[in-house]
Homo-oligomer: A and B are copies of this chain.
Amino acid sequence: MEIENGMNQQIILKQRPSGTPNTDTFEWTKTPISAVQEGQLLVKTLYLSVDPYMRGRMSDRKSYVPSYELGKPIEGGVVGEVLESQSPDFHKGDFVLGGYGWQTYATVSAKTVRRIDPTLAPLSTALGILGMTGLTAYFGLLDIGRPQAGETVVISGAAGAVGMVVGQIAKIKGAHVVGIAGSTKKIDYLINELGFDSAISYKGDIPLHKALATACPHGVDVYFDNVGGEISDAVLRRLNKGARVPLCGQISSYNLEKPDIGVRPQTFLLINSALMQGFIVSDFAKRFPEGIKELAQWVNSKQLKSQETIIDGFDQTVNAFLGLFTGDNLGKQLVKVADPSHG
């Protein structure tokens, strides 16, 4: 893709969604590309990331991170190529990781991006297994979940980007790993491709609580929760003494307009001296280099597989985002916006 008449395509937040976002939430615009000033770069978007946490930022209530501004492009992770540099730290042709979000180009301060080594792994992994996805799984599981060999680790949203990495790391640590996901295709993938010991469909014929009893005969020591809601209700009642519950997401509640009503988990935590802890990957920002190093080792030794679902075309961005809430995606969801300009 070349620069189309010098214009940058953007997807901006038009109105804050009430409930599930839809196409009225967003507006496509074209805007001239800003000139590159001292210290800035012009970056062409190659891949952009769509993630469940973005739903929270579309509301104006308190969430992990600040709300998106109305009328501005949706922010999020991007892999891009430097087309022009007015910074001594970058050159034309460099690949970078940025956070400027859903737009085809961006003129940004060189301080807001970091260089990616394209020889280490495919460029897209910087948005996935060697990026926030992998680091979220790594620190949430190992620092909060602390699985021991022989313990049982249950993962909800197991076929999501983070869940798949969590399960594989738990296997590396010697745990008995059980995933919960929403389709036969995902179940098969978790067991046959990623080596989960067991995987359960929450939409299956067998009630979830019965399927869990079979899959977790020794109870649950770690519950890595991406989902919340009734799936969690079923898992939490099986916690063992001293269990740990990293809360990574509550995708079932993001689109709720009222408080999330259901089974309060406090009793299960109390009777088991169990721990539940929310986190966001930035809590561990100082230790990212440690995490990236170990994740890359596991990727290179083939102990850790990366799964991406890549949709082609900037115009598919909103569809890819909305698909996160309907259970269709397998692994990290990315949009490919353009090919690199050079080899």
Binding site for B on A (CB under 8 A): 56, 62-64, 225, 228-229, 232-233, 247-250, 253, 259-280, 283
The answer to whether B260 and A263 have CB atoms under 8 Å apart is yes
Q: What are 30 A-B pairs at a CB distance below 8 A? A: A56-B271, A225-B266, A228-B264, A228-B266, A228-B267, A247-B266, A247-B270, A250-B266, A250-B267, A250-B270, A259-B264, A260-B263, A260-B264, A261-B262, A261-B263, A262-B264, A263-B264, A264-B265, A266-B276, A266-B278, A269-B277, A270-B278, A270-B279, A272-B278, A273-B278, A273-B280, A274-B277, A275-B275, A275-B278, A276-B276
Q: Which of B260, B268, B271 contacts A267 (CB 8 A)?
A: B260
The answer to whether A63 and B274 have CB atoms under 8 Å apart is no
Bound Cα distance from A303 to B104, whole angstroms: 64
Output the least CB separation between A211 and chain B (Å).
Answer: 19
User: What residues of chain B lie closer than 8 Å to A265, measured between beta carbons?
Assistant: 264-266
Output the least CB separation between A289 and chain B (Å).
Answer: 21
Output the least CB separation between A165 and chain B (Å).
Answer: 19
Output the least CB separation between A276 and chain B (Å).
Answer: 5
Bound Cα distance from A233 to B248, whole angstroms: 21
User: What residues of chain B lie closer than 8 Å to A248, measured between beta carbons?
Assistant: 270
Output the least CB separation between A240 and chain B (Å).
Answer: 11
The answer to whether B283 and A273 have CB atoms under 8 Å apart is yes
User: What residues of chain B lie closer than 8 Å to A263, measured between beta carbons?
Assistant: 259-261, 264
The answer to whether B270 and A64 have CB atoms under 8 Å apart is yes
User: What residues of chain B lie closer than 8 Å to A266, measured between beta carbons?
Assistant: 225, 228, 232, 247, 250, 253, 260, 265, 276, 278
Output the least CB separation between A285 and chain B (Å).
Answer: 12
The answer to whether A275 and B272 have CB atoms under 8 Å apart is no
Bound Cα distance from A232 to B272, whole angstroms: 19
The answer to whether A276 and B273 have CB atoms under 8 Å apart is no
The answer to whether A267 and B253 have CB atoms under 8 Å apart is yes
Bound Cα distance from A305 to B280, whole angstroms: 41
Output the least CB separation between A183 and chain B (Å).
Answer: 24
Output the least CB separation between A166 and chain B (Å).
Answer: 16
User: What residues of chain B lie closer than 8 Å to A253, measured between beta carbons?
Assistant: 264, 266-267
Q: Which 10 pairs, one residue from A and one from B, show the smallest C-beta to C-beta distance?
A: A270-B278, A269-B278, A275-B277, A260-B264, A259-B263, A276-B276, A247-B270, A262-B264, A273-B279, A63-B271
Given contacts A247-B269, A253-B264, A253-B266, 7 further A-B contacts (CB under 8 A): A64-B271, A228-B266, A250-B270, A261-B264, A269-B277, A275-B275, A276-B276
